[in-house]
Amino acid sequence: MQKMLFEIGRHIRKERKKRRMTQKQLGELLGMSRTTISQIENGVVQDVGIRKILRILEVLDLEIKVRPAGAPPTLDELQKENET
């Protein structure tokens, strides 16, 4: 699960930076501390609820997709990674 949180955090950081937004700005927009945003982005947050993650993703126009564990990425996913 830690690896999954790290990947989500990595995508959050990438999109936040793409939007030229600081952790503090994102945190203020969501009513969260900069420290919480930092911990989520680094995958080291001790306790984070799915609602917090979903709120962050919603603000950044991101979404979570569910697929079988260990499944290789789809062609669409690989193309999107190469575009950014």
Q: Which domains does the chain have, with CATH numbers?
A: 2-65 (1.10.260.40)
Kindly state the tokens that stand for 64: 């979570």
Q: For residue 23, count CB atoms less than 10 angstroms from its CB and return exposed for 0-12, middle for 13-18, buried for 19 or more.
A: buried
Kindly state the tokens that stand for 44: 């080291």
Kindly give the parts of the chain with pLDDT less than 70.
1, 84
Q: Write down the pTM of the prediction.
A: 0.80
Give the pLDDT score at 29.
Answer: 96
Give the pLDDT score at 58.
Answer: 96
Give the pLDDT score at 61.
Answer: 95
Q: What integer best gives the mean pLDDT of the chain?
A: 89
The owner of tokens 């079988």 is 68
Per residue in 27-46, pLDDT (tens digit) is 999 999 999 999 999 988 87
